[in-house]
Protein backbone atom coordinates (compact mmCIF):
# COMPACT_ATOMS: atom_id res chain seq x y z
CA UNK A 1 0.00 0.00 0.00
CA UNK A 2 1.25 3.47 -0.78
CA UNK A 3 -0.28 6.51 0.88
CA UNK A 4 0.30 10.02 -0.38
CA UNK A 5 -0.97 13.36 0.86
CA UNK A 6 -3.89 14.64 -1.19
CA UNK A 7 -3.45 18.04 -2.89
CA UNK A 8 -6.29 19.39 -0.70
CA UNK A 9 -4.57 18.33 2.53
CA UNK A 10 -1.21 19.62 1.34
CA UNK A 11 -2.71 23.00 0.37
CA UNK A 12 -4.46 23.26 3.75
CA UNK A 13 -1.20 22.45 5.55
CA UNK A 14 -3.05 19.93 7.74
CA UNK A 15 -0.89 18.83 10.64
CA UNK A 16 -1.98 15.18 10.75
CA UNK A 17 -3.44 13.12 7.96
CA UNK A 18 -3.82 9.37 8.05
CA UNK A 19 -5.60 6.42 6.52
CA UNK A 20 -7.45 3.95 8.70
CA UNK A 21 -7.29 0.31 7.69
CA UNK A 22 -10.45 -1.73 8.26
CA UNK A 23 -9.09 -4.26 10.74
CA UNK A 24 -10.99 -5.51 13.78
CA UNK A 25 -9.89 -4.27 17.20
CA UNK A 26 -6.95 -6.16 18.67
CA UNK A 27 -5.16 -5.94 21.98
CA UNK A 28 -1.62 -7.19 21.44
CA UNK A 29 0.08 -6.90 18.10
CA UNK A 30 3.28 -6.43 16.18
CA UNK A 31 3.46 -3.99 13.28
CA UNK A 32 6.07 -4.49 10.59
CA UNK A 33 6.27 -1.85 7.91
CA UNK A 34 8.65 -0.10 5.58
CA UNK A 35 7.92 3.62 5.72
CA UNK A 36 9.44 6.57 3.93
CA UNK A 37 8.78 10.26 4.02
CA UNK A 38 10.17 13.50 2.72
CA UNK A 39 9.07 17.14 2.67
CA UNK A 40 6.06 17.50 0.39
CA UNK A 41 6.97 20.90 -1.03
CA UNK A 42 9.04 23.99 -0.38
CA UNK A 43 5.90 26.07 0.26
CA UNK A 44 4.66 24.19 3.31
CA UNK A 45 5.75 23.63 6.89
CA UNK A 46 5.20 19.86 6.49
CA UNK A 47 8.60 18.22 6.80
CA UNK A 48 7.62 14.75 5.68
CA UNK A 49 6.85 13.20 9.05
CA UNK A 50 5.52 9.67 8.54
CA UNK A 51 4.38 7.04 10.96
CA UNK A 52 1.85 4.53 12.15
CA UNK A 53 -1.14 5.30 14.35
CA UNK A 54 -2.80 2.62 16.45
CA UNK A 55 -5.48 2.30 19.12
CA UNK A 56 -7.51 4.74 17.00
CA UNK A 57 -10.91 5.64 18.45
CA UNK A 58 -13.87 5.07 16.13
CA UNK A 59 -14.60 8.81 16.08
CA UNK A 60 -10.86 9.51 15.45
CA UNK A 61 -10.70 11.67 18.59
CA UNK A 62 -7.82 9.72 20.11
CA UNK A 63 -4.96 7.52 18.99
CA UNK A 64 -1.37 6.60 19.72
CA UNK A 65 1.35 6.94 17.11
CA UNK A 66 4.98 6.35 16.41
CA UNK A 67 6.36 8.58 13.70
CA UNK A 68 9.62 9.42 12.00
CA UNK A 69 11.07 12.82 11.24
CA UNK A 70 13.22 11.88 8.21
CA UNK A 71 14.93 15.28 7.91
CA UNK A 72 16.17 14.94 11.51
CA UNK A 73 18.01 11.65 11.06
CA UNK A 74 21.17 13.18 9.66
CA UNK A 75 20.77 16.77 10.83
CA UNK A 76 23.92 18.68 11.80
CA UNK A 77 22.42 19.51 15.22
CA UNK A 78 22.70 16.57 17.67
CA UNK A 79 19.56 17.64 19.58
CA UNK A 80 17.56 17.56 16.35
CA UNK A 81 19.02 14.15 15.42
CA UNK A 82 17.90 12.88 18.83
CA UNK A 83 14.35 13.73 17.79
CA UNK A 84 14.22 11.54 14.69
CA UNK A 85 11.55 9.17 16.05
CA UNK A 86 8.66 10.16 18.32
CA UNK A 87 5.81 8.55 20.27
CA UNK A 88 2.60 10.50 20.97
CA UNK A 89 -0.80 9.80 22.47
CA UNK A 90 -3.38 12.17 20.96
CA UNK A 91 -5.00 14.30 22.29
CA UNK A 92 -3.69 14.25 25.86
CA UNK A 93 0.01 13.71 25.21
CA UNK A 94 1.12 15.55 22.06
CA UNK A 95 4.84 15.75 21.26
CA UNK A 96 5.35 19.16 22.87
CA UNK A 97 3.82 18.08 26.19
CA UNK A 98 5.87 14.88 26.29
CA UNK A 99 9.04 16.80 25.40
CA UNK A 100 8.39 19.37 28.13
CA UNK A 101 7.34 16.97 30.89
CA UNK A 102 9.68 14.05 30.08
CA UNK A 103 12.55 15.32 27.89
CA UNK A 104 14.08 12.59 25.75
CA UNK A 105 11.77 9.88 27.10
CA UNK A 106 9.42 9.58 24.10
CA UNK A 107 11.74 10.52 21.24
CA UNK A 108 15.10 9.21 20.15
CA UNK A 109 17.74 9.01 17.45
CA UNK A 110 17.42 6.64 14.53
CA UNK A 111 19.66 6.66 11.45
CA UNK A 112 17.42 7.63 8.57
CA UNK A 113 17.22 10.05 5.69
CA UNK A 114 14.36 11.59 3.68
CA UNK A 115 12.83 9.39 0.99
Query: For residue range 69-91, what is the model confidence (pLDDT) as tens digits?
Result: 988 888 899 999 999 999 999 99
The count of domains in the chain is 1
Q: Residue 19's pLDDT is what?
A: 77
Residue 91 lies in a domain: yes
Task: Please check whether residue 90 lies inside any domain of the structure.
Answer: yes
Question: What is the C-alpha separation between 98 and 103, in angstroms, rounded?
Answer: 7
pTM to 2 decimal places? 0.77
Residue 70 located in a structural domain = yes
Residue 26 has pLDDT above 80, yes or no: no
Cα 33 to Cα 4, 8, 36, 58, 77: the distances in Å are 16, 26, 10, 23, 28
- Range(s) of the domain holding residue 63: 48-115
Is position 7 within any domain? Answer: no
Q: Is residue 34 part of a domain?
A: no
Mean pLDDT of 15-25: 72
Residue 81 Cα distances to 1, 36, 43, 49, 68, angstroms = 28, 17, 23, 14, 11
- 72 located within any domain: yes
> What whole-number distance in Å separates Cα of residue 66 and Cα of residue 88?
7
Domain annotation covers residue 73 = yes
Amino acid sequence: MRLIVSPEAEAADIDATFAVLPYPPIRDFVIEADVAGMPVSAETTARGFVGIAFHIAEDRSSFEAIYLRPTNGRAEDQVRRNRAIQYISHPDYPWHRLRTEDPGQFESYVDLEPG
